[in-house]
Structure 1
Amino acid sequence: MSANTRHTYIQIHPTDNVLVALQDLPAGTLINFDGQQFALAENVAAKHKFTVTELQPGAPIHMYGVLVGKASAPIVQGGAVTVNNIVHAASDFKMGSRKTAWHKPDVSAFENRKFMGYHRADGSVGTANYWLVIPLVFCENRNINVMKEALSAKLGFTKPRGYESEVDSLIDMYQAGKSVEEILRADLELSPENDTAHRLFKNIDGIKFINHDMGCGGTRTDSDALCGLLAGYITHPNVAGATVLSLGCQHAQASILQAEIMKRDPAFSKPLVVLEQQQSGTETAMLHEALKRTFVGLIEADQHERIPAPLSKLCIGLECGGSDGFSGISANPALGYLSDMLVTMGGSVVLAEFPELCGVEQELSDRCVDEATASRFMELMTTYNARAVADGSGFYANPSPGNIKDGLITDAIKSAGAAKKGGTSPVTDVLDYPEKVTKPGLNLLCTPGSDIESTTAEVAAGANIVLFTTGLGTPTGNPITPVVKISTNTKLYQKMPDIIDINCGTIIEGEETIAEAAYRMLDYVIELASVKHRTKAEKLGQDDFIPWKRGVSL
């Protein structure tokens, strides 16, 4: 990337014919670029793009060195690129030659570093130690909630911070006869975080109770995929054991779940409680059995302790949500550099959100280690897009209103920046939802671009930490895997400190290089994996979990 000395605009790739404004630029601002000088024809907001030459309708527009759109109306030199003068366009892709040569980053400072993790029988290492309580079908959601009410507080696993004391204050003011105006003006103090010292089981990080709306009534394909997804969570290195409640007659049968578990871990040995309400008879009988067997399982899970593990045991999920025009310039390439570092050390990274890889298919397929892997990637991309088109919304419709407002006005622009999270290393494997990572290196996982569905799937694939970049802000978390929120700009970091963990706006401001930000993030990840601190999402109890109903989401 090249920027002018005052850091007011930037050219991301030498072949790009648009520049990105790094701050609000008024009309008339003089631009000195590539030996020429011209004035901006109109105001250009920070994160948005403007042309370096005059463009006629049909002219290609390039960013990140790839085609991201075509002019739909004349654009003068120094004119802003907007939804009114550009349409989505992306290059075709085909089977090409292997381009797997890459420059490995310097990892000497991290080669001997370790994290304190939970070692599992299958050789994986967890960054946490959770017990799961999950339904096979939505009919059991209520019983899951009953178990949560019975177990969480008694065992010391209540939410990190509730708002009960705030409600108590409101009740007190109402009973004291305070007016509506006085109540609205009141400054309520947040409750302090709960003390974890009162936990009965000291080596268990929590009991996670998951609800969902699937398992029956949909397609068999979706219910089978749900069983695979849940199996991914049960066999996950961050999970010590699980309780599964089933009604009995649903599509998502316990036998399918067991088969999916064995597919992922043939020597599965974790404590697992599976109960069916239609076999137990009364709800009371099932819940009594579930509570007793879960408690016994917790006793076994509490025997696990953290011991040192090499960084090669980390599996990092790469995610972005609420993206903006700085995502592909700051936080995403910093994640890409970190990804390359982890791959160099033998670890695994997972790049998902296939709708947000539209336009970079050729590069990624060429980076696949062999033609079979490349072929699978291209087939999954083509099939997924065709399904979306059949439903009346192809990949071109991926950018959200928030994305567009902050500079990501075509899917290809959004995708080219999103793909930067995957760094430059070869693609070692391509996975379809809800498959599991089995190879070190860069793995591509077919998921929607929808934040929570994608994060849910990355964790099922084995991610024991998720790094999540955002330019607009999102509280997304996960029940069993820490989700680190990384801001693309300093303004967001300062505005939403309760949900953002790391700021990469320092790159935009010229205070830090991409490599320096990556080193800083990897330090944070190692400490997080050793539970020296918790993410903001964990502190808020943000346990988001949404299975993918295939074909419905972009």
Structure 2
Amino acid sequence: MKVHPADNVLVALTDLKPGEEVTYQGIAYQPTEFIPAKHKFAINSIPAGAEIMMYGVLVGKAQFNIAAGGLLSTANVKHAANSFFSEGHQYHWHQPDITKFRYKTFNGFHREDGSVGTANYWLIVPMVFCENRNVEVLQEALIKPLGYGRKKSYELKAQNLIDKIRAGGSMEEILYTEIEPHTTASASTKVFPNIDGIKFLNHTGGCGGIRQDSITLCGLLAGYITHPNVAGATVLSLGCQNAQVSILEEEIKKRSPGFNKPLYVLDQQKTGTEEDMLDKAIRQTLAGLIQANQNIRKPAPLSNLTIGLECGGSDGFSGISANPAIGYTSDLLVSLGGTVILSEFPELCGVEQNIVDRCIDPVDAERFTDLIRTYSQRAEEAGSGFDMNPSPGNIKDGLITDAIKSAGAAKKGGTSPVVDVLDYPEKVTKPGLNLLCTPGNDVESTTAEVGSGANIVLFTTGLGTPTGNPIAPVVKIASNTTLYKRMNDIIDINTGTIIEGEETIEQAGERILEYVIKVASGEIEISAVKHGQDDFIPWKRGVSL
């Protein structure tokens, strides 16, 4: 497959043997060496120093002469990307046909500020890492009695093996003897049927480091507390930490001036004994849950959806199947008046000018270039750089330069104009495509997107990852059918159908939006929610790729 007419490489959709003749658009090609599926080979000979084009952009330069049909690898290709400027060009957007979705709705939880949640959670939040143990005590005290225990339990399986050890079982028996499969524990009935769960945002921040870290953390926590998927929160403070409750309250007012959700704040140094504080925390949380349980799902237009766009464990197919598919989903939602968030700034390397050209406001174009240049400079000052972004798994599966990875990753943002550029952890306020400065790190970026307002996240992967979020459904989308079948317990949707020619990118994008509507309505429980995959890692604004 050739991704763009200007490309001088082809992508192998299956393993290709040396000398095996393959035809693309009537032209025959002969690989000179083994080309693994997802990797690229040269259409014509590429001399040393010459540019390598993919997705229509510069993605690298040849370190040595590459023969026609030769495999592109880290041995013969080095990272290279186009330069960019803050001045944009005139941009025309062709909106997709939204007839099929124009009058569709989802059933969500309506908040007084006009936002609509796709879920209804209660939060328990520590202001500082010193309170993490008290948060864990509350988790132990509340989760199972309220009926929010994990549905799958491996405890029985482990107990069976431990019993064998007690009976003198050998290492071979423990490793290889078949035992009864773990059973599905019958979860007790939820006390509060309209509340999806209580979530605990443990973290390692709040004190030490620099004061800006604590201010940023308070902004992120405020984003979660004011989030449409959250009904209320219990906050535990030690009292002396850098992340003061007063800073959190200021950040909440920034995001929600009329904030009126139940919010209980307990200061351990003021309260006295741990027992007194935890007693109050349990009583106040239960009282808040009674109030929160009164909210029920009601119809809402799709314009109330805010979707975060994320990728992780990407492969050589991500940029030609899963990413452009959710890019089309993104364009559909924008056309319907909804909101999408594209983040992971290190993974926009090489396509910056395209992003600049799509900015409606020149001020946003300037802000984007400033943010990404500053980010790149800090990475270089730390002895790294965006060129070091691809992981070993990315490289093994065909993403051999950051520019190749980024050009494919940017497809998640579709083709719609950019309406706003935000710096972490700012809140999204404008419908349309928003850019949010975050690392490429999966969990840090997903954590940030939800903190900025995403009430659902579409997460593409080619290698497989269980990543989830405490309060927003993270829908996992496979770029290839092999992954979908192999890890079907953590993957929700397959777009390998595009690679196999069974459907177009547009058809897959529409299918994904249909799925999103069901998830947003509580009709489908996605894999990450089933497994209790509550990943939460605040970004400290240090260099993280």
- TM-score by structure 2 length? 0.98
Question: Does residue 77 in structure 1 map to residue 68 in structure 2?
Answer: yes
> Shift of residue 346 of structure 1?
0.3
Question: Does residue 444 in structure 1 map to residue 435 in structure 2?
Answer: yes
The question of whether the paired residues in 1 share the 8 Å contact of 2:150 and 2:187 is answered with no
Question: Does residue 302 in structure 1 map to residue 287 in structure 2?
Answer: no
The one-letter code matched in structure 2 to 1:526 is: I
In 2, distance between residues paired with 1:212 and 1:189? 37
Q: Counterpart of 1:41 in 2: which secondary structure? A: coil
The one-letter code matched in structure 1 to 2:462 is: G
Give the structure 1 partner of residue 177 of structure 2: 186
Q: Counterpart of 1:273 in 2: which secondary structure? A: strand
Give the structure 2 partner of residue 460 of structure 1: 451
Q: Counterpart of 1:11 in 2: which secondary structure? A: coil
Question: Does residue 199 in structure 1 map to residue 190 in structure 2?
Answer: yes
- 1:283 is matched with which residue: 274, 282, 289? 274
In 1, distance between residues paired with 2:123 and 2:85? 43
In 1, distance between residues paired with 2:427 and 2:9? 39
- 2:131 is matched with which residue: 130, 140, 161? 140
> Shift of residue 172 of structure 1?
2.6
> Shift of residue 118 of structure 1?
0.2
- C-alpha RMSD over aligned residues: 1.2
The question of whether the paired residues in 1 share the 8 Å contact of 2:47 and 2:66 is answered with yes
In 2, distance between residues paired with 1:437 and 1:324? 29
Deviates more, 1:355-364 or 1:105-114: 105-114
> Shift of residue 193 of structure 1?
4.2
Q: In the TM superposition, what whole-angstrom CA distance separates every residue of 1:46-96 from its partner, at most 9, and x where no partner exists?
A: 000001111111100000000000001110111110001111000100133
The one-letter code matched in structure 2 to 1:228 is: G
Give the structure 2 partner of residue 5 of structure 1: none
In 2, distance between residues paired with 1:451 and 1:480? 16
Question: Does residue 403 in structure 1 map to residue 386 in structure 2?
Answer: no
> Shift of residue 194 of structure 1?
4.7
Question: How do 1:145-184 and structure 2 match up within 5 A?
Answer: 145-184=136-175
Name the CA shift for 1:196/1:440 in 2 (closer, same or farther; >3 Å): farther
Give the structure 2 partner of residue 505 of structure 1: 496
In 2, distance between residues paired with 1:192 and 1:310? 40
Q: Counterpart of 2:541 in 1: which secondary structure? A: coil
The one-letter code matched in structure 2 to 1:144 is: V
Give the structure 2 partner of residue 262 of structure 1: 253
In 1, distance between residues paired with 2:170 and 2:535? 37
> Shift of residue 180 of structure 1?
2.6
The one-letter code matched in structure 1 to 2:20 is: T
The question of whether the paired residues in 1 share the 8 Å contact of 2:88 and 2:356 is answered with no
Name the CA shift for 1:385/1:190 in 2 (closer, same or farther; >3 Å): farther
Give the structure 2 partner of residue 42 of structure 1: 33
> Shift of residue 509 of structure 1?
0.4
In 2, distance between residues paired with 1:353 and 1:318? 9
- 1:479 is matched with which residue: 470, 480, 483? 470
Question: Does residue 211 in structure 1 map to residue 228 in structure 2?
Answer: no
Question: How do 1:122-137 and structure 2 match up within 5 A?
Answer: 122-137=113-128
In 2, distance between residues paired with 1:507 and 1:176? 53
The one-letter code matched in structure 1 to 2:516 is: V
- 1:428 is matched with which residue: 419, 436, 446? 419
- 2:331 is matched with which residue: 329, 340, 343? 340
The question of whether the paired residues in 2 share the 8 Å contact of 1:14 and 1:65 is answered with yes
Q: In the TM superposition, what whole-angstrom CA distance separates every residue of 1:336-367 from its partner, at most 9, and x where no partner exists?
A: 00000000000000000000001000000110
The question of whether the paired residues in 2 share the 8 Å contact of 1:98 and 1:368 is answered with no
Name the CA shift for 1:36/1:535 in 2 (closer, same or farther; >3 Å): closer
In 2, distance between residues paired with 1:399 and 1:546? 20
Q: In the TM superposition, what whole-angstrom CA distance separates every residue of 1:230-258 from its partner, at most 9, and x where no partner exists?
A: 00000000000001111111111100000
- 1:492 is matched with which residue: 483, 497, 505? 483
Deviates more, 1:155-164 or 1:16-25: 155-164
Identity %: 64
- 1:542 is matched with which residue: 525, 533, 536? 533
Q: Counterpart of 2:393 in 1: which secondary structure? A: helix
The one-letter code matched in structure 1 to 2:308 is: G
Give the structure 2 partner of residue 58 of structure 1: 49
In 2, distance between residues paired with 1:420 and 1:44? 24
Give the structure 1 partner of residue 322 of structure 2: 331
- TM-score by structure 1 length? 0.97
> Shift of residue 39 of structure 1?
1.7
In 2, distance between residues paired with 1:34 and 1:507? 18
- 1:315 is matched with which residue: 285, 306, 321? 306
- 1:19 is matched with which residue: 1, 10, 33? 10
> Shift of residue 125 of structure 1?
0.3
> Shift of residue 107 of structure 1?
1.3
Give the structure 2 partner of residue 368 of structure 1: 359
The question of whether the paired residues in 1 share the 8 Å contact of 2:95 and 2:331 is answered with yes
Name the CA shift for 1:196/1:129 in 2 (closer, same or farther; >3 Å): farther
The one-letter code matched in structure 2 to 1:456 is: T
Question: Does residue 96 in structure 1 map to residue 87 in structure 2?
Answer: yes
The one-letter code matched in structure 2 to 1:322 is: G
The question of whether the paired residues in 2 share the 8 Å contact of 1:464 and 1:481 is answered with yes
> Shift of residue 552 of structure 1?
2.8
The question of whether the paired residues in 2 share the 8 Å contact of 1:98 and 1:369 is answered with no
The alignment of Structure 1 onto Structure 2 pairs a total of residues equal to 545
Q: Counterpart of 1:70 in 2: which secondary structure? A: strand
Moved beyond 4 Å, runs of 4+: 33-36, 188-197
> Shift of residue 399 of structure 1?
0.2
The question of whether the paired residues in 2 share the 8 Å contact of 1:98 and 1:370 is answered with no
Name the CA shift for 1:314/1:173 in 2 (closer, same or farther; >3 Å): same
> Shift of residue 110 of structure 1?
1.1
In 2, distance between residues paired with 1:316 and 1:352? 11
In 2, distance between residues paired with 1:519 and 1:195? 36
- 2:77 is matched with which residue: 49, 67, 86? 86
> Shift of residue 221 of structure 1?
1.3
Q: Counterpart of 1:154 in 2: which secondary structure? A: coil
The question of whether the paired residues in 2 share the 8 Å contact of 1:338 and 1:518 is answered with yes
Deviates more, 1:177-186 or 1:189-198: 189-198
The one-letter code matched in structure 1 to 2:307 is: I
